[in-house]
Amino acid sequence: MRFKNRYLCFQLTAEQRHRRDSNVAGGLVVAEHVTAAAVAQAVRIAVAEEFGDFGTGLSMATHAITCCYRNVYFAQNSQVKYFSPLTGVGILRVPRDLAREVWAAIVLLSELHSMNLNCRISVFHIAGTIKHAQISTIRHDKCILITMRSRLRLDDSKLELLIKKSASAINAVES
């Protein structure tokens, strides 16, 4: 049986609670110490908080057999496929039938508990294939790097190298 997935392309912007960082730009910081595992954990917590009872009730109404299986199904088939701490851009793979619920939950996410960060996640693209998610993520990541150019003090050659390195890392992601 083939699992049908959706790929949520997102951007995480973080604001530290207790201390100011040198990467502050308008109150927002680059989440250089945030990992893909921390984002995945935060997504799972957000889905559980936002749709815990409702999700279980919905699954029992539509598929009586999968009522206990739904959270396990989400946990096993959701994965952060790519995350760049420099730009905060990432790709999240989720089951197709839970894509809207996960989208709603991560948009409502306000903090990464394990990292002690207030954050905001915005979804900029939803794709049905990893290839289209990669194309959109590369385009978005490039725009962010260009806008961050002055803050990172990059000349043209370093910027191009960073864009190519980022694009190759995104293209290396497999479904």
| Mean residue pLDDT across the chain | 79
Mean pLDDT of 85-103: 91
Mean pLDDT of 159-169: 92
Nearest residue to 83 via CA among 139, 171, 12: 12
Rounded Cα distance, 81 and 75, in Å: 14
Rounded Cα distance, 11 and 90, in Å: 6
Rounded Cα distance, 130 and 79, in Å: 12
Domain boundaries defined on the chain: 5-171
Checking phi first, is residue 43 left (phi over 0); if not, alpha (psi -120 to 50) or beta? alpha
> pLDDT at position 19, please?
52
**CATH architecture for the domain at 5-171:** 2-Layer Sandwich (3.30)
What band does 72 get if pLDDT is binned at 50, 70 and 90?
Answer: low
